[in-house]
Amino acid sequence: MKTEHNKKLSVTNTIVKIAKPASYFIFLLLTYTLGYLSHSFSPPSLPPPNFPPPPPPETSSILRFSVIDTTELASFRVTTQCSDPIPPEKIYRELIDRIFNGTSPFTDFPQPHVAEKLLRSKKVRGWGSNGAVFENLIRKVNPRIIVEVGTFLGASAIHMAELTQRLGLKTQIFCIDDFRGWAGFRDDFKNIAMLNGDVLLYHQFLQNVVTFNQTGSVLPVPFSSGSALAKLCEWGVLADLVEIDAGHDFLSAWADINRGFRILRPGGVIFGHDYFTAADNRGVRRAMVDLIAKIHRFKVKIDGQHWVIDSTYIH
Ligand SMILES: *[C@@H]1O[C@H](CO)[C@@H](O)[C@H](O)[C@H]1NC(C)=O
Ligand SMILES: *[C@@H]1O[C@H](CO)[C@@H](O)[C@H](O)[C@H]1NC(C)=O
C-alpha cells in the first residue's frame, strides 16, 4: 500500500517535473510566435492578435525612452519586406560588388603570410555533409541559387557544388558564416591555424574551395547569419534552396530558420540538420521546426538526419 502510494507520488512528481519545463517552453514558443507574426508578416487569413490597450506610461519610462537616440537602432532593425527579387544570374556580381568591393575573394589567394599555414587536404571535416538529402533535394529542385547558413570549413557546400556539376546545373552557392567557429571549437580542431589569436577559418574555407576547384560556384558571405540573411532579403537575393546548419541553440536556430524562410523563392525548399540527433536537444528543435512549418502552413518531412520543408506543398 505504502509502496503503491509512493509510486503514485513519484509518478506525479515526474509528471510535474516534465510538465513544468514543457509549459514554459510552450509559453516561450507562443510569445515568439505572436511577436514574430505581429512583426514581420501580414498573413492572409490570420487576424491580428487582440491585445488590451497598454497602460498609460509613467513619467519615468517616458524619460528613459526619450534619452535613446532612435537612429542608433537603425542597424538592428529587421526590415519586414524583402526587395523585389533580382534576376538569379545577376546575384553573383551583385554580392561581389556589395560585399567585396568588386573583387572576388579568390583573387590573389592565398596571400604569402597565410599560405604556409593552410591545409591542402582533400578531406574536409564536417557533420552529415555527404547525406543523401543533398542529392535528393538538388535533383528535385534543380536550384539556380543555394544559400547555406552555417558553412564552417565548406564540406557540405563543396559536396553540393560537385553534385550540381554532375547533374549539369549552373548553380551558385552562397555560404553565410562568420567563420569564427564557436568558443572552444579548437578543442576538436587543433590543426586550424591561428594568426595573432585569430583563427584562420575563413582562409581555410577559401583554401578548401580552391583545392576542390569550386571557386566559380561557391562564394562566402562572411558575416553572422542574422545580419547576412537580413541584407540578402533587403537586396532582393532569393534562393531556391536554403540550408540551415548554423548555431543549434534555440534562439539562433529560431532566428535563422525564420529569416531563411523570408529569402526562399516561392516553391523553394528549406532544410536543416539535426532533427533527430543528440543536437536536437530532447525534442526542442523538432518542436520548433514543426511550429515554424505550421506558421507557414507547410509540412515537415524527414530525410536522414535532416528536416525538409518544401514550399510547393501547402498543408
Ligand atoms: C574599393 O574599390 C574602389 C574602386 O575600385 C577603390 O578605389 C577602393 O580603394 C577600394 N576600397 C578598398 C577598401 O579596397
Ligand atoms: C576547374 O573547373 C573549371 C570550371 O569551373 C574547369 O574548366 C577546369 O578544367 C577545372 N580544373 C580542374 C583541374 O579540374
> Atom 14, ligand 1: which residue's CA is nearest?
101
| Alpha-helical runs (H) found in 154-249 | 155-166, 201-211, 225-235
> Atom 9, ligand 1: which residue's CA is nearest?
101
Secondary structure of residue 103 in the 3-state scheme: coil
pLDDT surpasses 50 at 169: yes
CA 117–ligand 2 middle distance (angstroms): 25
Q: Lowest mean pLDDT: which of 43-52, 90-99, 162-171, 238-247?
A: 43-52
Secondary structure of residue 168 in the 3-state scheme: coil
Q: Which ligand is nearest to the CA of 100?
A: 1
- Predicted local confidence at residue 61, as pLDDT: 44
Q: Which of 99, 101, 103 most suits a substitution to test ligand 1, by most atoms within 8 Å of the C-beta? A: 101
Establish whether residue 211 lines the binding site of ligand 2, counting it when its CB lies within 6 angstroms of any ligand atom.
Answer: no
> Atom 13, ligand 1: which residue's CA is nearest?
101
> Atom 6, ligand 2: which residue's CA is nearest?
213
- Express each pLDDT in 78-96 by its tens digit: 446 799 999 999 999 999 9
Secondary structure of residue 232 in the 3-state scheme: helix
41-50, 127-136, 271-280: which is most confident:
127-136
CA 176–ligand 2 middle distance (angstroms): 24
CA 213–ligand 2 middle distance (angstroms): 6
Cross-strand pairs, 198:
195
CA–CA gap between residue 290 and residue 283 (Å, rounded): 10
Where do we find the cell 572576388?
Answer: 104
DSSP classification of residue 278? G
Task: Give the Cβ contact number of residue 131 at 10 Å.
Answer: 16
Establish whether residue 213 lines the binding site of ligand 2, counting it when its CB lies within 6 angstroms of any ligand atom.
Answer: yes
Establish whether residue 107 lines the binding site of ligand 1, counting it when its CB lies within 6 angstroms of any ligand atom.
Answer: no
Phi/psi at 266 (nearest 5 deg)? Answer: -55, 130
Phi/psi at 299 (nearest 5 deg)? Answer: -105, 145
DSSP classification of residue 74? G
Establish whether residue 101 lines the binding site of ligand 1, counting it when its CB lies within 6 angstroms of any ligand atom.
Answer: yes
State the closest ligand 2 atom to the C-alpha of 215, by its place in the atom list counted from 1. Answer: 5
Sign for the CA dihedral angle at 116, 122, 123, 128 comes to positive
- Express each pLDDT in 254-279 by its tens digit: 899 999 999 999 999 999 987 766 66
CA–CA gap between residue 243 and residue 251 (Å, rounded): 17
How many residues belong to the chain? 315
Predicted TM-score of the model (pTM): 0.77
Q: What is the end-to-end Cα distance of the chain in Å, rounded?
A: 51
b/e per residue, 242-257, with b = 16+ CB within 10 A?
A: bbbbbbbebebbbbbb
Residue 275's closest CA among 238, 242, 298, 244? 244
> Atom 8, ligand 2: which residue's CA is nearest?
213
State the closest ligand 1 atom to the C-alpha of 101, by its place in the atom list counted from 1. Answer: 1
Secondary structure of residue 174 in the 3-state scheme: strand
Residue pair 231/78 in contact (Cβ under 8 Å)? The answer is no
CA 202–ligand 1 middle distance (angstroms): 21
- Predicted local confidence at residue 41, as pLDDT: 40
All three cell numbers of 88, joined, read 538569379
- Express each pLDDT in 15-35 by its tens digit: 445 555 555 555 555 555 554
Residue pair 253/229 in contact (Cβ under 8 Å)? The answer is no
State the closest ligand 1 atom to the C-alpha of 102, by its place in the atom list counted from 1. Answer: 2
163-177, 182-196, 261-275: which is most confident:
163-177
